[in-house]
Structures are given as C-alpha cells and as structure tokens.
Amino acid sequence: MPKEPQYTFTPPRSARFAIENREAMAELQGGTNLSTYCAEYSLNEFLEQATNFHFLLYLMTNHLVQFSEAEMHKLCFAVSTQNREMAIEWARETLDWQQLVALSHEQGHAAASATTWSCKHCTFENNEQRPDCAMCGLPANA
C-alpha cells in the first residue's frame, strides 16, 4: 500500500463532463457538453481531459461514433499509465475521435442557435427567429 495515494482520475476543471443517465435532470452527454468540455483542454492536456471516468465511459458507449476495442484499449492504457505522449498520439491519430469532436462542435452550435420563443397570444412554441408568430401571425413583441 503506497503512503501517498495515486489517483487515476483527475479532478474536473470548471467545465465538467456530464454524468451518464441524467437526461431527466437535463444533464446531457455529447453535443454542447462534449464541445464545452473539449474546449477546456489543449492537445497537450489531452491526458487530463481523458482521465475522467464519465468521459471515457461516454466514448465507449456513445452512438454517434463507434470506437474500436483497440482504440479504446490504447486510450485506457495511456490513462492508466499516465503516458502523455501516447494520449496525445491517440488524439492526433484517431480519426473517430476527430470526427466525434467535429460532430459535437456542430451539435453545440446548432443547439445554441435553435432557441425557441413562446407566443404571448396563442402560446405556440416558435423555433424560428422571426418578428411574428408562425401559428397566429401576431407580432412577437406586442
């Protein structure tokens, strides 16, 4: 037993990765959450980014981009041995990772621009940014 414990996972920064199975609490993994989480770290800090249990579990179970067992084994080995060079190499060379980051970035931008507003007259939820209601035609600010 070591006198000084060595932890595998690092404490989160300001942007934390959402915990799985919390959709009912409006904590969604992927999309905006993944994009924000990735923006907190540079490529040199990918090891710190990857040493998050919930992040690793998301990579293994997400439905957008399926990682191979070999890809995940290499990343988990880099995390467990705290091998920064191997983690950076994984992030740089794994096309599935690059694709997932690009997709989450696009989803994050789409979610930010897809704001809705409720009409004061008919209570219809408008998805478009327009001056009048798509259902009743009355002005949005009247």
CA–CA separation, 36 vs 46, rounded Å? 14
CA–CA separation, 53 vs 57, rounded Å? 6
Residue 91 lies in a domain: yes
Query: C-alpha distances in angstroms, 3 versus 8, 41, 90?
Result: 16, 31, 32
Number of structural domains in the chain: 1
Residue 15 lies in a domain: no
Q: pLDDT confidence of 141, banded at 50, 70, 90?
A: confident
Residue 80 lies in a domain: yes
Residue 7 lies in a domain: no
Residue 1 lies in a domain: no
Per-residue pLDDT tens digits for 67-89:
999 999 999 999 999 999 999 99
Return the percentage of the chain with pLDDT > 70, whole number. 83
Residue 42 lies in a domain: yes
pLDDT at position 58 is 94
| Contact present, 51 and 8 (Cβ < 8 Å) | yes
| Contact present, 46 and 87 (Cβ < 8 Å) | yes
Q: Which domain holds residue 95?
A: 23-113
Residue 126 has pLDDT above 90, yes or no: no
Q: What is the rounded average pLDDT of the residues 13-20? A: 72
| Contact present, 50 and 12 (Cβ < 8 Å) | no
Residue 8 lies in a domain: no
Residue 18 lies in a domain: no
What pTM was computed for the model?
Answer: 0.67
